[in-house]
Chain A
């Protein structure tokens, strides 16, 4: 069983929900990311997503786009990020997921990429521009590693009849996109979550996590009842971007994540 599945099982036993935190790798620096990830775990994150910075992140809103830019200014390469993960793996226990665009895997070499992910301790991949219908691109390789690396698929409120098919083949957890558009903080959500999740829950018993736009403890309280976990990205990345030093970023992120943890654990 993958580390991600184990984590969800463990949380369920404790009657808790997963707090999934996202940061962009190398923002503001590799060393900064290592410190921030440690702090995220201390603050109560159960799973951590590391975004591999990309020149054309089409599913991202302005906050994460800027983070990508900041990271790329340091001329960061995928092999640097792999090395970073090796270091992080020695310091944190939580499952680690890469979020990256398909072209990065394709150029790196699909087989080589999966092999290195496994070797340095990555537990899952989210590939926003590789929808269900294109998964065959990597299937030859991904199935070989499926006990260790979960390829996490997404459903959105407009996925309609495709939800069933996507959910049936989901691994690790099903990433449920809260609302249309790109990543980024939202004031409120117009999605009918009761309807959205009745379709999802009919299709699969795999853990579900909601992402896109969740940015306050109030959002956490409002949405936690629908799923097994919540994903927070831009709200964390914005706090990193607004900090002038790494120490400040670590502190801001730590406090914020602790406040989300509290909201998630309150009955």
Chain B
């Protein structure tokens, strides 16, 4: 009897889940109607100043025109494969699996892409779109510099003018990436307003775009911003999950039990998760940055500790005070150092499809060192957050289960900050 009830509950849960997903695809369809609001449930939207509305509508129309266009997709896939080194490998981490003694662990090697992270996937898509729209100049915001470097790279490849907005604080912390962008021919614009970090660089890029949308394309770096950006970036990053689907079937003959990815704005996570959303047996975990701990004021965990608000054109979860002022955030990882999260993640959290957890600096640094030693792979400190959570989860699971960690970037850029964290003088 009890078993029967449980079965019924399972069926109901499954149906609810399906309804949610059906609603979701309905929401996605709604986005396609010209001035659609681009909502994911109640999240997302287009909270933009009037001076940007025309540019956003123009972008949406261009995207709708090209997203299923055969030539456009052919060109996109050509550059992904021939230039960015896709498909990226799905690597079985044998020693790590054995050492942790539980679930089988695979690493999706986005760190092996050209420019060293998943950022290039989205940038190639957006810059190709910019070209089709006849834009001659691209601008971008960057935190750690990974997205700035990827944008500068694509701008060099397609001979476009490029300007990257970067917070004054971040420029100090990431001087190597600043110089990389300059080598690639980009202008780096120092942003001194606000806290001088990613959030302020995003403000400044939006301001710049509102004054020069006629010849300028704003290449946004994550699944954030006003509609249609969260959708565009998700679609371009979904190549990650689509490849994983094929690769894991080839290796395991079935879908994985867990997908794990770090979440700042959330582009690498949504890229891995999205193609699996309707596969209800695939569990998904997004890992936020807990910085010095969720009980301190120094973290960047928007879902774990934030509340619903509006910033950068979207309704989502943000770290803010009771007046709506956005709070300063902290993480050892500059790529997760953002006070909000993409609206689709907020929605996936709300319907319970994806679980969101947080990992501290300490745990991330431990994972950084661990993966370096056990597999010979230096993960980006962002990706190390996902590795850290997998290290907790894997031993609790049986050997028949499989986990896929999105290794979103390489860790060379983080060697200095990890050394500093460990008290090593380089």
Contacts and interface: CB of A to CB of B under 8 A. Distances in A.
Interface stretch (A1-9, A114-122, A124-132, A259-267): A124-132
B45 interface: yes
Contacts of B213: 158, 180
A75 to B, nearest CB: 10
A78 B310 contact: no
B35 interface: yes
Given A108-B324, A134-B45, A180-B212, A103 B207 contact: no
A141 to B, nearest CB: 16
B325 interface: yes
A182 B210 contact: yes
Contact of A55 (B35, B45, B50, B326): B326
B50 A177 contact: yes
B85 interface: no
A158 B51 contact: yes
A131 B310 contact: no
Contacts of B3: none
A61 interface: yes
Max chain A C-beta neighbours (<10 A), residue from B199, B310, B318: B310
Contacts of A133: 35, 37, 46, 53
Interface in A41-82: 54-59, 61-62, 65, 69, 72, 77-78
Contact of A102 (B47, B307, B326): B47
Instruction: For chain B, give the interface size range.
Output: 35 or more
B54 A104 contact: no
B359 to A, nearest CB: 26
Instruction: For chain A, give the interface size range.
Output: 35 or more
A103 B310 contact: yes
B47 A131 contact: yes
Max chain B C-beta neighbours (<10 A), residue from A57, A61, A129: A129
A249 interface: no
A104 B324 contact: yes
A129 B47 contact: yes
B50 A54 contact: no
Contact of B323 (A104, A131, A134, A182): A104
Contacts of B313: 129
Max chain B C-beta neighbours (<10 A), residue from A54, A72, A106, A108: A106
B199 A106 contact: no
A177 B53 CA distance: 13
B398 interface: no
Nearest to A79: B323
Max chain B C-beta neighbours (<10 A), residue from A57, A61, A105, A158: A158
A154 B49 CA distance: 9
A103 B309 contact: yes
A56 B310 contact: no
28 contacts: A56-B199, A56-B203, A56-B311, A56-B312, A58-B207, A59-B207, A69-B193, A103-B311, A103-B318, A104-B323, A104-B324, A106-B310, A107-B320, A128-B49, A130-B47, A131-B47, A131-B53, A133-B37, A134-B37, A134-B46, A134-B47, A156-B53, A156-B54, A158-B53, A158-B55, A160-B54, A181-B51, A181-B210
Given A78-B323, A156-B53, A181-B51, 16 more contacts: A56-B199, A56-B200, A56-B326, A58-B207, A59-B49, A59-B51, A101-B324, A103-B324, A103-B326, A131-B47, A131-B53, A133-B35, A134-B37, A156-B54, A160-B54, A181-B211
Rank and list the top 4 A-B pairs by shortest CB-CB distance, nearest first: A181-B211, A107-B324, A103-B324, A158-B54
